[in-house]
Every structure is written in structure tokens, then in C-alpha cells.
């Protein structure tokens, strides 16, 4: 009986590993192809012979991309958006999740407050009222138009409050006995113990801000204020030959439109790819523990 279970467990693990490796390869192949195209010569890329390995290795496309002022400006705007947006979102998420994690005896009308936030997941005011609200408040064409409308992701609040509810109640009671209030207990006990969940929702927030492109197109009147994702959307849909100086057009002779676009896409994806290794150890643990209790 034990041997049968052992054999079944081995087969199950082999199947799981094979499936996960296959999915990982499927996800990586497009990125590897884009990298290969960006490192290939313009002749090879235009001929369509580049697959998963560069042809006639060259870094001219990256040199051309990094020399474009509008690309670097949009990259800087995205960095500012991620830094400001993540700090604001995480601060508000923590301050909302902590009181909502209490029982109805500790926080009156707790259920009503919780449903107030859940309601925003189920129903939306629509795109036009959303835009008119942002325009009326004078946020258009500013970095705050990209940060404040999505400053409270309710899904992240639910994850964090469930994590808070899973922490031992005795820790808070002991802190109160020692003279700590709710504010001090939150930052000295709850936040340090909740780093797996905080790192997880922090990663969600970073990825959301970095990859969001639609709000940049709608809320920014000038292309000089586009975040990187919005800028990449415009160059993918439109020709990247527009708004180029004579020097840039001269340098473009050594590359191609396809290699330049591939280089821009890969450079845009690189910062997010670099975040995952540092947060991976928290990611799975935070997701599991954050969804245990309702």
C-alpha cells in the first residue's frame, strides 16, 4: 500500500513539474524572441529569419533607443508613477485593512464599511463619469491623475485584512497591556509580521502601475507626459519614424523599425522582471496566508 502511494506521488510530482515547466517555457518564448530580434541586425530582422537566437549580434538598437529623449522621459515618468503610486497605495491599503480586520464589537458598523468597499468591485460608475471626475478635480496632465484614481485597490485590501485577521489575537492584547495603542500596535506588530502579504500586494501594485497604459492615453493631453506603457502603445500602433530628429533618422539606417520596437519593449519589461526574484519568496506565502480566513 505504501509503495503504491509512493509511486502515485512520484507520478503526480512528475506530471506537475512537467506541466509547470511547459507553462514557463510558453511564457518565456515570446520574451526570448523579442530579445533575439532586438539583438539582431536590421537585415535579419526584416527578413523574418530571427527565431530564438540573435542573427548578426548587434547592440545598435539599444544604443538608438537609449538616445531617444522621449523614451527616457516616459521611462522616468513610469518610475515616478511606480514610486509615488506604490507608497500611496500601500499606505492607504494598510490603514484601511487594519480597522476592517477587527470584529463588529471593536469597530461599529464594520460590516457596512466593508461592503462599501466591496461595492466598488461589483459596480462601476463608467468611463465617462470617471474621466469627468478627474477633469473636475484638475488632475489631468499630471502625475497624480495616474496615482490617485487607483490609490485604493480593494482586492489588495481584502487580502491584507484577511492576513491581519489570521494573526494571533494575543499579540495585540499583550501590546495593549504594555500601553500600546492601535496606531503603535499596527506599525510595531502587525506590519512587521505581515511582510509576506505586504510584499505580495506591493508586487501587484508595482506591476499594475508599470503596465497600465490606457489611463495615460486618456488622462495625458501631451505625449511628453505619457508613462512608458502608454508611449510603447503609441509606437507599436503608429510608426516610430515620427517626431525624429535628423540625427536619429541617420542612426536608424543601421537598425530597423522592428528591432527598435523590440528593444523598447524589452527595456520596458526589464524593471518588472528584476523585481520578481527579490519578492518571490514572499509571493506564494502571502497569497496562501492572505486567503485563509474570510
| Domains of the chain, start order | 66-290 (1.10.3720.10)
Q: Could you tell me if 81 and 232 are in contact, meaning their C-beta atoms sit under 8 angstroms apart?
A: no
The string of DSSP codes covering 99-168 is HHTS-TTTSTTHHHHHHHHHHHHH----HHHHHHHHHHTT-TTSTHHHHGGGS--HHHHHHHHHHHHHS-
> pLDDT for 65-105, tens place per residue?
888 788 889 999 999 999 999 999 999 999 999 999 888 88
| Residue listed under C-alpha cell 496615482 | 147
Place of cell 503609441: 234
Answering whether pTM is above 0.95, one says no
**So what's the pLDDT on residue 4?**
55
Read off the pLDDT band of 254 (50, 70, 90): low
- Cell reading at 162: 484577511
User: What is the per-residue burial (b if ≥16 Cβ within 10 Å, else e) of 212-238?
Assistant: bbebbeebbeeeebbbbbbbbbbbeee
Contacts of 216 (CB under 8 A, 6+ apart): 146, 225, 226, 227, 229, 230, 231
Cα–Cα distance list, 226 to 84, 110, 137, 218, 267 (Å): 16, 40, 20, 10, 16
At residue 7, the pLDDT reads 79
**DSSP, res 253:** G
219 pLDDT above the threshold of 60: yes
Q: Are 32 and 52 in contact (CB under 8 A)?
A: yes
- DSSP secondary structure letters along 184-201: HHIIIIIHHHTHHHHHHH
Average pLDDT, the chain: 83
- Locus of grid cell 508613462: 227
pLDDT for 1: 47
Q: Which of 218, 235, 74 is nearest to 150 (CA)?
A: 218
Amino acid at each position: 500500500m505504501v509503495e503504491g502511494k509512493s509511486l502515485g506521488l512520484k507520478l503526480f510530482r512528475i506530471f506537475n513539474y512537467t506541466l509547470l515547466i511547459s507553462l514557463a517555457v510558453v511564457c518565456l518564448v515570446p520574451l526570448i524572441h523579442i530579445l533575439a530580434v532586438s539583438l539582431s541586425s536590421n537585415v535579419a530582422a526584416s527578413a523574418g529569419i530571427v527565431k530564438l537566437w540573435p542573427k548578426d549580434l548587434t547592440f545598435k538598437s539599444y544604443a538608438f533607443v537609449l538616445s531617444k529623449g522621449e523614451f527616457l522621459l516616459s521611462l522616468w515618468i513610469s518610475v515616478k508613477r511606480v514610486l509615488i503610486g506604490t507608497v500611496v497605495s500601500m499606505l492607504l491599503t494598510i490603514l484601511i485593512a487594519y480597522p476592517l480586520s477587527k470584529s463588529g464589537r471593536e469597530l461599529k458598523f464594520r460590516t457596512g464599511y466593508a461592503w462599501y468597499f466591496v461595492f466598488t468591485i461589483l459596480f462601476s460608475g463608467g468611463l465617462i463619469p470617471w474621466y469627468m471626475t478627474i477633469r473636475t478635480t484638475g488632475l489631468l496632465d499630471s502625475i497624480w491623475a495616474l496615482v490617485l484614481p487607483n490609490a485604493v485597490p480593494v482586492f489588495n485590501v481584502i487580502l491584507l485584512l484577511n492576513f491581519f485577521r489570521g494573526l494571533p489575537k494575543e499579540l495585540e492584547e499583550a501590546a495593549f497591556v504594555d500601553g500600546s495603542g492601535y496606531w503603535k500596535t499596527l506599525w510595531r506588530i502587525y506590519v512587521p509580521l505581515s511582510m509576506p502579504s505586504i510584499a505580495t500586494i506591493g508586487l501587484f501594485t508595482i506591476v499594475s502601475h508599470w503596465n497600465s497604459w490606457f489611463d495615460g492615453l486618456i488622462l495625458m493631453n501631451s505625449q511628453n507626459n505619457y508613462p512608458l506603457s502608454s508611449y510603447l502603445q503609441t509606437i507599436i500602433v503608429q510608426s516610430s519614424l515620427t517626431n525624429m530628429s535628423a540625427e536619429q533618422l541617420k542612426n536608424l539606417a543601421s537598425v530597423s523599425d522592428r528591432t527598435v520596437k523590440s528593444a523598447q519593449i524589452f527595456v520596458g519589461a526589464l524593471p518588472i522582471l528584476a523585481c520578481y526574484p527579490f519578492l518571490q519568496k514572499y509571493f506564494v506565502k502571502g497569497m496562501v496566508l492572505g486567503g485563509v480566513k474570510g
